[in-house]
Amino acid sequence: MAKLLRMLFRTGIKKGLGTEGGRGWLLFGLAAGMLHFLRRHHDEAKVSYSQKLEPGQTMIIRHYRKGEPLPPV
C-alpha cells in the first residue's frame, strides 16, 4: 500500500507541475502524499507479543535500560 501511495504521489506531482500543469493531477498527488504521510506517522501502538492468560496466571512487563544487567532466568 505504501509503495502504491508513493507512486501516486510522484505521478500526481510530476503531471501537476510538469508541462501539462493540470491542477487536478497536483491535488491528486498532494492527497496521495498526505495519505502516505498519515499512514507512516500514525501513533497506533504495534503489537509485538500476544498471549492469552488463563485465570490465575500473571505476566510481568519490565523495561531494562541500556547496559543494565538482565536477571538470571
pLDDT digit string, tens, across residues 18-67: 876 788 888 988 999 899 888 887 766 677 788 899 999 998 888 778 88
| DSSP label at residue 55 | T
Q: Three cell numbers at 59?
A: 505476566
pLDDT of residue 43: 61
- CA distances in angstroms from 52 to 28, 44, 49, 56, 57, listed in the order given: 44, 21, 10, 12, 10
- Predicted TM-score (pTM) of this structure: 0.51
Q: How far apart are CA 7 and CA 5, in angstroms?
A: 5
Q: How far apart are CA 64 and CA 48, in angstroms?
A: 17
